[in-house]
Structure 1
Amino acid sequence: MNRALTGHVDRTDDTPPSDSPAEHRRFAGHLRRLRRVGEAEEIGCLVEVLADPDPTMARSAVLRHVDRRAAELYRGGAFATWAEAVGRACAGHPVVLRRLREWILFRSAALDGAWRADALAEASDWLQYKVAAESGTADALEFLAVQGRTRRIRHAAAAALRLVPDRPR
């Protein structure tokens, strides 16, 4: 069926319709700015977004950005410097700081770093599942297969553990 006849509009650029509420348009604008900003301007842009009059919407946009950038950077050497700068820029925003700490823990668990069992046990379900499903080390997977908070996490960790090469069974 012709999409023009059904009223369906394909918006691949995240632009909300012009009659959307102002906060929806600002949210989309924040996401676009954060996606396009260069490294040199990134921290300043985060501060500007967090100054939006709608703090919940601003945090949501920043969280999406942190997730996207951390996923791009966590394997490389630039991650620690980036995370430190983002942490300073987001001081006073505990939800964002918690997600940033979880990315730091994820990086440790994924790259065989010095993660602590108590920190992984206290981490959110989001992080535990991310470690179990995406890139935990054998030690982290063994821990989550037994100590994961939910059955879904324990199952994902146990399944991933079976795929770890050269691991005694």
Structure 2
Amino acid sequence: MTPNDDPTDGHARFDQLSAAVRESRPGDDPALIATLLAEPDRLMAESVLTSLVDSRAELLGSAASLAAWAEPLLDAVGADGFVARRVREWGLFKALQSGASVDREALAAASNWLQRKVVEEADSAVVLTVLGEVARTKRVRNLAKTRAGRLRSAGR
């Protein structure tokens, strides 16, 4: 925030915190997380923390490295909220991408966000076939079946 910003202006704080996430490096995370946890607007903090989780998950290679990174965050925010669910779903996505066996129940219970992400990015016909059977929406089920068929045709 600049000296001219009104600290009661939620939009300015959101913009500032979002910019801090975009510009941060992993070494900045402890201080950034502390700042976000001190934010009085819990919805705003949760939204920006989710952006941080998404950003770091994209960079981290495995479900194990994501879990290690997220451990202090989950200790601070608890295991039941939206941020914790996003961390778990990223872990499931990373596991599926690495060739782990498909947990049908976890994939069926996954959010629309994760199911769409899987249908868009999965490169396994097995994963997409299961998603085609258990996805929440008809659109995702159909897309998953179509992509699974294409991958099988390509020998994947």
Which residue of structure 2 aligns with residue 46 of structure 1?
A: 33
Structure 2 residue aligned with 1:37: 24
Q: Residue by residue, what CA displacement relative to the aligned partner does 1:38-84 show, whole Å, maximum 9, x if unpaired?
A: 32230331132122111011111111121122122245874342233
**Partner residue, 1:103:** 90
| Structure 1, gaps ≥5 residues long | 1-17
Report how far residue 122 of structure 1 moved. 0.8
Q: Pick from 65, 71, 76 the counterpart of residue 58 of structure 2.
A: 71
- Look at both structures and tell me which one has the larger radius of gyration over its CA atoms: 1
User: In 2 relative to 1, CA 23–85 (structure 1 residues): closer, same or farther, beyond 3 Å?
Assistant: same
| 1:58 corresponds to 2:45 | yes
2:20 is paired with a residue whose SS is helix
% identical equivalent positions: 34
Name which of 119, 123, 128 aligns with 1:132.
119
Q: Which residue in the other structure is 2:9 paired with?
A: 22
Aligned residues: 150
Q: 1:84 to 1:138 in 2, by over 3 A?
A: farther
TM-score, length of structure 2 as denominator length? 0.82
Q: Please state whether the residue corresponding to 1:163 is helix, strand or coil.
A: helix
- Give the root-mean-square deviation of aligned CA atoms: 2.5
Q: How many angstroms apart in 2 are the aligned matches of 1:72 and 1:159?
A: 29
Return the structure number with greater helix share.
Answer: 2
Alpha-carbon offset, residue 136 of structure 1: 4.7
5+ long unaligned stretches in structure 2 = none
Corresponding position of 1:121: 108
